Amino acid sequence: MKITPDHLARGAFIYIRQSTVDQLANNHESRRRQYGLADRARALGWTDVTVIDDDLGRSGSGVSRPGFERLLAAICEGRVGAVFAIEASRLARNGRDWHTLIEFCGLVGTVIVDEDGTYEPRHPNDRLLLGMKGTMSELELSLLRARSMEALKQKAKRGELFFTVAVGYVKVGHDKIEMDPDLRVREAIGLVFTRFAELQSIRQVFLSLRGDQIALPYIDPKVSGQHQVLWKLPVYTTVSNLLTNPVYAGAHAFGRTGSRMIIENGRKRIVRGRRKDRSDWAVLLVDHHEGYLSWADFERNQRLIADNANGKGMMVRGPVRKGEALLAGLLRCGHCGRRLLVSYNGTKGDVGRYNCDATRSNPGAAPCISFGALRVDEAVGAEIVRLLQPLGVEAAIQAITQCEHQSGEKQRQIELALEQARYEVTRARRQYDAVDPDNRLVAGELERRWNAALAAVRAVEEELAALLRRRPATLSAEERKRLLQMGLTWRPLGTIQRPPPSRVSGSSGSCCVRW
């Protein structure tokens, strides 16, 4: 008999684990079987039974498991006579944890009990069998992962894999998505892409939407199984996700993010959500469904976003910042190819100078180039004026049209919000009329919802009225004429007329402008 009085004098520890939250929600029978091991331990003669269920919802593949650590600590203290588990895979899915458990149990004389029998790690045959069980458990996990990932990849290649549906789309059937039929949702998302085409900066789009108090739709991730669209003022992440998600360009992508493993405090830790380069995506199907913009426009947007990034070195354009220099972020060094930086001096800090900062990364090297911004900006500005002057009238007319369009965008969004709010009032009224008036428990709640919907309509109506009061009047004929004249006589801002120098000493350089 492998179970001795010495084992019974110590405690029986029941280790319970399920790998995922989904298993906790759906696989109730497995959990009942594991908790039932406590009755088996008492039937075998143990009176001191401890259940360890701290690791419910945690994988056994090597991540941090406080319950397993607690079990090992109790074994080392000599308090454990037997470890009960439904099978070896519940205790560990990796060789390190499994063999550590066997080693500690063998040192202090603890037996391991599962549904198949009782094992004494001090006995060679039992130790061999336990080692094989651990190896098979680890192999089983690897095979399950490989099969599951390949199945997901094959489904993604058919364009039928949807873990979630992005806001702005609805799922049709089991393997297809279409644009949301809600006009307000479609126009709000389309407005984000329209403004990015104008402003060419995620942050500027975010600030303009916040400044105009334009709400964007979102799906609450906490409400599972429902595709309920909610509205709120945008945050930077919301705008960034809309502009960088290929689903809005009609593409189906899988494998955009990955994970990597690091060692932390002697244990494996998985870092998820690491973005991959597009060339490393597992699946990319262009023209998979109707998009809010074309794939060519999406790629152009991604190049602009990449150029605007900070901390990417001197070989990218970088964001355009404040300052008087006309060519900030556009000039490159003719020697090393780095982007030229701009510095400002003078009593007012408005005298610009372009510098190559190659010496920062190569200390001791000779500096490349450095020159004043005034004459270069004047020369380039004059060339731009010469080329654009024939188009000045058309550009001015386009500016007028664009100004009128932007002023109507917010009004359109508020009108759509008002239409939605009025629908909610009608819906609340129908619900109130359908209930028995004598049932005050229900009628009172429906009346409260109806009043809240009416208050929301009044708030939106007041917002629309305030916007119309602030909206500037239509340009008069004189104002239009003046604006057209500005298009013909435009000069770059910051150009200062100064007399030419009487003498130039030293070598001269050249500035090449590529259109």
CA distances from 9 to 17, 187, 467 (A): 26, 72, 80
Looking at residue 114, its amino acid is D
Cβ–Cβ < 8 Å for 371, 354: yes
Secondary structure percentages of the chain, helix, strand, coil, to 5 = 50, 15, 35
Sign of CA dihedral 326, 401, 472, 470: negative
Whole-angstrom distance, CA of residue 65 vs CA of residue 53: 10
Torsion of CA 403, 406, 412, 413, to 10 degrees: -160
Of 19, 89, 137, 208, which residue is the catalytic one?
19
Q: Is residue 243 left, alpha or beta, with left meaning phi > 0 and alpha meaning psi from -120 to 50?
A: alpha
Active site residue 19: yes
73 beta partners: none
Contacts of 85 (CB under 8 A, 6+ apart): 14, 15, 34, 37, 91, 112, 113, 114
Whole-angstrom distance, CA of residue 273 vs CA of residue 264: 18
Whole-angstrom distance, CA of residue 133 vs CA of residue 115: 13
H/E run at residue 101 = helix 95-108
CA distances from 471 to 291, 410, 489 (A): 32, 11, 28
For residue 361, how many C-alpha atoms fall within 13 Å in the half-sphere facing its CB?
A: 9
Radius of gyration of the chain (CA): 34
Residues acting as catalytic residues: 19
